[in-house]
Structure 1
Amino acid sequence: MNYQTFQPHQDLEALVSCYWTLEIPAEYSSERQRIVPDGCIEMAFILGDDIKRYTSQDEFILQPRAMVLGQTLAPFFIEPTGYVNTFAIRFYPYGFANFVTTPIEQLANKETPLTSLFEASIVNELERNIINAEDTKQRIAVIEKFLLGRLHEQSTIDTIVKQTVDALLNSNGTATITTILKEDLSKRRQLERNFKKQIGVSPKQLGKVIRLQSALKMLLNKETDSLTKIAYESDYFDQAHFNKDFKEFTGISPTAFLNNEQMALSTLFYK
């Protein structure tokens, strides 16, 4: 597997976490992979063979070749059909809302073709330019021209929503809404009205995903062999609480997560 990340232009760095590429030769890409929520929204271009996303144990759809993957709150399985070659943009939780008029909650837990979000002729040209680009540097230039052009057409994210997401990110998901808003009820009403529309999930749901990501990184980087210590440092009430949230978002226990061949991609993305 060849997974690489690239930093965005300074005018986009507050909204775009990174660009990433993934290449996997066909002979190594047939294993079904479990993907876990990460709190981000991604725009992806499939440049290699098709990728299946399972909707049940045996049924699947083919992912759109130019798509946005919205916020997810449960694990899902994908399976490459051959050679994997993907170019993608990973947005911060509040990032993608700055480029579209569609409420972000409508994108949650599914793939949405770009043609459903932007004018078809624009998407067709964008996809053609991404495919024909000579390398990743050119692809980044193409997508940044597109994003910067869209950014100037859209209003920015609600300030209270952004402050809440930043506080959740800075606290690894442990900050409470009461603490963030300092008990200002007017701000709470504004937050509740706009958060799901602009982020795709509730503040509590996003906080749980962010906190789990913090624990996942400790687990994957082997900072400690003690699950109890990971639970404590991630501010879970106890290990049972940690195990419950872990299984909710990954579908398996923390001990089963490690060295699981179906977690190879998630391990790559979140390590």
Structure 2
Amino acid sequence: MIPRYEEHVPRLDLAAHVRCVWLFEGGAEAEDQRIAPDGCSELIVHVGQPYLERAADGSAFRQAPVVFAGQLTRPLHLRADGPAGVIGVRFQPAGAYGYLGEPASRYTDRRTPLAIDLNLTGLNEDARLTAVQDHVAARIAANLTPRDPAVEAAVARLRAGQAVEASRDLQRRFARIVGVPPRRLAAIFRFRSVFDALSEPGVTSWTDAAHAAGYFDHPQLARDFRRFVGCTPSQFLAQQAGLAASLAQA
């Protein structure tokens, strides 16, 4: 089965919290998918067979039908062992806090099962997207969690590649709302920009991509690949087409 990945602009009432809503369909995979961090938390709704997640000891367990995936700072390996179908809500870096109603830092590097019945059975794709967004909007409205303009401004500066001088109080608020401290988010954004650099004219090697993304050299980039996805750049690029490649190119 040829994998299909699509992104949809969120509803206007969700734009401050949600970056996009995405769909993925794929078949069974022979190897793990190495998921790269992007600085965002996500609500994952499996409408196909839930993925197998690789535990630290090498064993695999099946994810719940609905999970909240917090900020990713270490390797996450998934594998589909049957027909996969996912609806994902990718929150803005500071947007999941309003959905959770509690510190996002509690969910960092965790895929937390959520006891939510969205009743998607029998619905077409558009109706499923509507139902998932209705759920997110209702939960944000019920939580009434205030936004923090200073944290959101700091995220915007980091995304633009600018330095952020944060007081201790702002660093604490940032980690609570975003899930990681400013320096860690800056490292994730830099790592993520490598995938954008690979598609730029004149970039013909990993070394070129590393320099374009702000790395000193290829070895420094390779260290971040091991840190974030647990493999070398070449191993990541050579993996079977599927969810990981789709998310990396998003």
| TM more than 0.5 | yes
- Read off the aligned partner of 2:160 and give its amino acid letter: N
Match of 1:32 in 2: 32
- Residues of 2 paired with 1:97 and 1:233: CA distance? 32
Gaps of 5+ in 1: 116-122, 182-187
Instruction: Say whether the 8 Å CA contact 2:87–2:129 is kept in structure 1.
Output: no
Instruction: Say whether the 8 Å CA contact 2:17–2:94 is kept in structure 1.
Output: yes
Q: Does 1:161 align with 2:148?
A: no
- Read off the aligned partner of 2:11 and give its amino acid letter: H
Match of 2:192 in 1: 213
Gaps of 5+ in 2: none
**How far does residue 217 in structure 1 lie from its aligned partner after superposition?**
2.4
Mapping of 1:98-247 within 5 angstroms? 98-115=98-115, 123-124=116-117, 127-128=118-119, 130-133=120-123, 135-153=124-142, 154-171=144-161, 175-178=162-165, 188-219=167-198, 224-247=203-226
**How far does residue 144 in structure 1 lie from its aligned partner after superposition?**
2.3
Match of 2:69 in 1: 69
**Which digits, 9 at most, give the CA deviation of each residue in 1:215-237, with x for residues without a partner?**
12223667511333222221223
Q: Tell me which structure has the larger Cα radius of gyration.
A: 1
- TM-score scaled by length of structure 1: 0.83
**What is the aligned-residue RMSD (CA, Å)?**
2.0
Match of 2:46 in 1: 46
Match of 1:119 in 2: none
- Residues of 1 paired with 2:182 and 2:121: CA distance? 37
Instruction: Say whether the 8 Å CA contact 2:197–2:212 is kept in structure 1.
Output: no
**Which digits, 9 at most, give the CA deviation of each residue in 1:13-63, with x for residues without a partner?**
2221111111113xx434321112121111011111232101035312211
1:264/1:141 Cα in 2 relative to 1: closer, same or farther (>3 Å)? closer
Instruction: Say whether the 8 Å CA contact 1:29–1:83 is kept in structure 2.
Output: no
**Which digits, 9 at most, give the CA deviation of each residue in 1:65-95, with x for residues without a partner?**
0111111101221111211111111111111
Match of 1:259 in 2: 238
- Read off the aligned partner of 1:22 and give its amino acid letter: F
Q: Does 1:18 align with 2:5?
A: no
Greater per-residue helix proportion: 1
1:67/1:223 Cα in 2 relative to 1: closer, same or farther (>3 Å)? farther
Match of 2:93 in 1: 93
2:14 aligns to what SS in structure 1?
coil
1:151/1:57 Cα in 2 relative to 1: closer, same or farther (>3 Å)? closer
Q: Percent identity?
A: 26
- Residues of 2 paired with 1:111 and 1:59: CA distance? 16
Stretches of 4+ aligned residues off by more than 6 angstroms? none
- Residues of 1 paired with 2:57 and 2:172: CA distance? 36
